[in-house]
């Protein structure tokens, strides 16, 4: 096993889902699980490893296939001293067949598998050729407990919601708690659901409309109504909580934590510290609706347009920068609404960066239509100081993200922050 971990130390930093860029992994094996393989020449394994080069340590899932006589396999992780090839499991048919059998409860003799390109934090495998296509998401970074993506979409599927893909199945595992030797925890490894081929996400639909100077208000209104349907279902299906003093304090602490990070990484924001605090204080003094489970990372890229079904919401894991414990708590529905409002602004901002421009009122019209669709479906008001505060917090999150990853996009969230604190 030491030689396997040595191979992973070299390989993991080159993977998009590895979060501790700039560090050489310091790995400890927490668990190893074999899956049943129909290929006699392959051993299919899932390793759970802790990277202790950072604190707190990060737990990763590494699916792999071991092949003794592989000459030069694609997606090679490395080789053991006796020459056995370690192959990234998502790209090997022995693993994908075993995975499909685990999550669906049926073999996949006629299914073809391909890895979805472009993902950052997870790895998704698309299975086609059977009675219905399936997409299975492998969670690369693991946490104890059920993943919110599984919990929320399964609940919505069982309730008959047309606004999420149908859940198919999941794969769980147990591993040693890296922070408590001798203690075992369990959590989610993978989640399979209905795959909708040939559809576009709402970002592409909206961007095309804005570039063509076409109104998006009807589509945005329908998206607001679909969002309201999902929120109403989640409030009915899963526990809610009062927005008491403790809950408000927890949100305020998270807002402040994010602001402190942003000011340290984006110094121009320091001039807004007092103005941001005033926005947050107004929000804390206003009336809050009961808290409930929400999407948590809602934007146009998390919605698919299926012609026969309308808008379909996906990826309920929550915002990656927030701790998993926060993502599982009941929260304000306004966090989701704020995320979508910011996404409309990003459509207009991205066009401006490319040298073109949406009509001046495109984003504001889409925002109003979205909120109108939501209010019409839920009967709940979707404006006011609390929504402003959540939108401001989201813009501050975007400023952190852009400063780290796309500095030339930083102007988009900075302009929103100026607007939301009243300096423009």
Specify the CATH number for the domain of residue 265.
3.90.1200.10
The reply to whether 221 and 103 lie within a common domain is no
Of the residues 167, 194, 221, the one at which a domain ends: 194
- Dig out the tokens for 26 from the structure: 């310091």
Query: Is residue 354's pLDDT more than 80?
Result: no
The reply to whether 268 and 398 lie within a common domain is yes
Lowest mean pLDDT segment, chosen from 11-25, 142-156, 227-241: 11-25
Pick from 52, 48, 62, 68: nearest CA to 20? 52
pLDDT tens-digit series, residues 313-326: 999 999 877 788 88
- Dig out the tokens for 24 from the structure: 């050489």
The reply to whether 91 and 205 lie within a common domain is no
Give the number of domains in the chain: 2
Question: 3-state SS string over 148-186?
Answer: HHHHHHHHHHHCCCCCCCCEEEEEEEEEECCCCCCCEEE
If one compares 323 and 171, the residue with the highest pLDDT of the two is 171
Instruction: Provide the edge-to-edge strand list for the sheet that holds 122-128.
Output: 112-115, 122-128, 134-139, 184-194, 167-176
pLDDT tens-digit series, residues 33-63: 999 999 999 999 999 999 999 989 999 999 9
Task: Tell me the mean pLDDT in the region 186-197.
Answer: 96
The reply to whether 158 and 236 lie within a common domain is no
- Dig out the tokens for 403 from the structure: 């400063």
Question: How high is the pLDDT of residue 106?
Answer: 85
The reply to whether 172 and 44 lie within a common domain is yes
- Dig out the tokens for 326 from the structure: 């926060």
Question: How high is the pLDDT of residue 100?
Answer: 96
Residue whose entry in the numeric block shows the structure tokens 């414990």: 325
Contact call for residues 110 and 127 (beta carbons, < 8 A): no
Question: How high is the pLDDT of residue 73?
Answer: 87
The reply to whether 121 and 231 lie within a common domain is no
Whole-model pTM: value is: 0.92
Question: How high is the pLDDT of residue 74?
Answer: 87
Residue whose entry in the numeric block shows the structure tokens 């069982």: 158
Which residues fall within 8 angstroms of residue 321, CB to CB, at 6 or more apart?
A: 258, 397, 400, 401
Q: How confident is the model at residue 387 (pLDDT cuts 50, 70, 90)?
A: very high
The reply to whether 270 and 157 lie within a common domain is no
Question: How high is the pLDDT of residue 117?
Answer: 87
Contact call for residues 49 and 29 (beta carbons, < 8 A): yes
Task: Tell me the mean pLDDT in the region 267-276.
Answer: 96
Task: Tell me the mean pLDDT in the region 59-78.
Answer: 93
Residue range of the domain that includes 409: 200-420
Of the residues 194, 223, 244, the one at which a domain ends: 194
Lowest mean pLDDT segment, chosen from 37-51, 67-81, 203-217: 67-81
The reply to whether 189 and 215 lie within a common domain is no
Query: Is residue 301's pLDDT more than 70?
Result: yes
Query: Is residue 124's pLDDT more than 60?
Result: yes
If one compares 178 and 120, the residue with the highest pLDDT of the two is 178
Q: Per-residue DSSP letters for 319-355?
A: -TTS-HHHHTS-B-THHHHHHHHHHHHHHHHHHHHTT
The reply to whether 54 and 138 lie within a common domain is yes
The reply to whether 349 and 222 lie within a common domain is yes
Please, is 354 exposed, middle or buried when counting C-beta atoms within 10 Å of its C-beta (0-12, 13-18, 19+)?
exposed
Question: How high is the pLDDT of residue 423?
Answer: 67
The reply to whether 169 and 220 lie within a common domain is no
The reply to whether 31 and 139 lie within a common domain is yes
Q: How confident is the model at residue 113 (pLDDT cuts 50, 70, 90)?
A: very high
If one compares 75 and 323, the residue with the highest pLDDT of the two is 75
Strand partners, 122: 139
- Dig out the tokens for 144 from the structure: 């104890």
Query: Is residue 76's pLDDT more than 70?
Result: yes
Task: Tell me the mean pLDDT in the region 377-404.
Answer: 95
Q: What percent of the chain has pLDDT over 70?
A: 99
For residue 275, report the phi and psi dihedrals to the nearest 5 degrees: -65, -40
Question: How high is the pLDDT of residue 424?
Answer: 54
Query: Is residue 254's pLDDT more than 70?
Result: yes
If one compares 121 and 95, the residue with the highest pLDDT of the two is 95
Which residues fall within 8 angstroms of residue 40, CB to CB, at 6 or more apart?
A: none
Helix (H/G/I), strand (E/B), else coil: 410: coil
Helical ranges in 269-420 per DSSP H = 273-285, 324-327, 334-353, 362-378, 385-405, 411-420
Question: How high is the pLDDT of residue 82?
Answer: 92
Which residues fall within 8 angstroms of residue 193, CB to CB, at 6 or more apart?
A: 134, 135, 136, 137, 153, 157, 165, 166, 167, 168
According to DSSP, residue 304 is labeled E
Question: How high is the pLDDT of residue 323?
Answer: 81
Query: Is residue 293's pLDDT more than 80?
Result: yes
Query: Is residue 206's pLDDT more than 60?
Result: yes
Question: How high is the pLDDT of residue 357?
Answer: 77
Of the residues 139, 167, 194, the one at which a domain ends: 194
Pick from 156, 175, 174: nearest CA to 164? 156
Strand partners, 399: none
């Amino acid at each position: 096993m030491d030689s396997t971990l040595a191979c992973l130390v070299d390989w993991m930093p080159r993977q998009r889902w590895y979060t501790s860029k700039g560090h050489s992994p310091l790995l400890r094996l927490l668990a190893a699980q074999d899956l049943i393989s129909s290929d006699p020449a392959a051993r299919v394994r899932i390793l759970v490893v802790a990277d202790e080069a950072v604190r707190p340590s990060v737990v990763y899932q590494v699916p792999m296939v071991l092949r003794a006589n592989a000459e030069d396999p694609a997606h090679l992780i490395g080789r053991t001293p006796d020459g056995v090839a370690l192959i990234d499991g998502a790209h090997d048919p022995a693993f994908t067949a075993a995975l499909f059998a685990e999550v669906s409860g049926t073999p996949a003799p006629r299914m073809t598998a391909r890895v979805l390109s472009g993902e950052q934090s997870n790895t998704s495998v698309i299975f086609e050729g059977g009675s219905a296509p399936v997409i299975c998401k492998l969670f690369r970074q693991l946490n104890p407990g059920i993943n919110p993506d599984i919990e929320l979409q399964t609940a919505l599927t069982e309730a008959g919601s047309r606004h999420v893909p149908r859940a198919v199945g999941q794969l769980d595992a147990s591993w040693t708690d890296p922070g408590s030797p001798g203690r075992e925890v369990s959590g989610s490894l993978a989640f399979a659901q209905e795959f909708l081929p040939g559809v576009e996400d709402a970002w592409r639909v909206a961007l095309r409309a804005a570039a063509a100077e076409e109104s998006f208000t009807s589509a945005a209104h329908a998206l607001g109504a679909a969002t309201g349907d999902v929120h109403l279902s989640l409030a009915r299906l899963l526990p809610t909580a009062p927005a008491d003093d403790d809950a408000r304090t927890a949100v305020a602490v998270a807002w402040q934590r994010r602001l402190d990070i942003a000011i340290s990484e984006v110094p121009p924001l320091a001039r807004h510290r007092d103005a941001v605090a005033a926005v947050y204080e107004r929000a804390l003094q206003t009336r809050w609706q009961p808290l409930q489970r929400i999407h948590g990372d809602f934007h146009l890229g998390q919605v698919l347009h299926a012609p026969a079904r309308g808008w379909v919401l996906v990826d309920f894991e929550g915002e990656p920068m927030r701790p998993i414990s926060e993502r599982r708590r009941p929260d304000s529905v306004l966090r989701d609404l704020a995320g979508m409002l910011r996404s409309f602004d990003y459509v207009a901002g991205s066009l401006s960066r490319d040298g073109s421009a949406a009509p001046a009122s495109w984003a504001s019209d889409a925002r109003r239509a979205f909120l109108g669709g939501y209010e019409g479906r839920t009967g709940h008001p979707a404006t006011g100081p609390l929504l402003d505060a959540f939108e401001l917090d989201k813009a501050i999150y975007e400023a952190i993200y852009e400063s780290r990853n796309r500095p030339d996009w930083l102007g988009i969230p900075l302009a929103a922050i100026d607007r939301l604190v009243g300096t423009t």
